[in-house]
């Protein structure tokens, strides 16, 4: 799976996990997960490379307790180091 496709599928998985994914130009100054107002967000810094953007999203959702129970393509679960939902 190409990195851009993996990023798109990982962002879609984040949304299925209840995150709002925001892609913003942050100039390399931030990004990642946060929660406010009872909502979960992942900010993806568009100034970063695709690989770095992918790692921002992956880091945000990798430890989410719902992750093992959500269906996702094998490549996404492989990249995240999680087992695919049964």
3-state per-residue secondary structure call for 21-70: EEEECCCCCCCEEEEECCEEEEEEECCCCHHHHHHHHHHHHCCCCCHHHC
**Among 7, 1, 2, residue whose Cα is nearest residue 57:** 7
- Domain assignment present for 62: yes
CB 56 within 8 A of CB 81: no
- What is the pLDDT confidence band of residue 86, given thresholds at 50, 70 and 90? low
- Domain assignment present for 23: yes
- Domain assignment present for 86: no
The domain in which residue 76 lies consists of 3-80
pLDDT digits (tens, 9 = 90+) for 21-59: 999 999 988 899 999 999 999 999 999 999 999 999 999
Domains in the chain: how many in total?
1
Q: pTM value?
A: 0.91
- Domain assignment present for 51: yes
- Domain assignment present for 65: yes
CA–CA dist 81, 65 (Å, integer): 14
- Domain assignment present for 35: yes
- Domain assignment present for 85: no
In percent, the amount of the chain with pLDDT more than 70 equals: 97
């Amino acid at each position: 799976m190409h990195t851009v496709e993996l990023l798109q599928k990982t962002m879609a998985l984040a949304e299925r996990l209840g995150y709002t994914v925001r892609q913003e130009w942050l100039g390399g100054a931030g990004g990642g997960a946060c929660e406010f107002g009872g909502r979960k967000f992942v900010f993806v810094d568009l100034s970063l490379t695709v690989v770095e953007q992918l790692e921002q999203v992956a880091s945000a959702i990798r430890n989410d307790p719902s992750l093992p129970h959500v269906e996702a393509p094998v490549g996404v679960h492989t990249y995240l180091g999680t087992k695919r939902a049964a």
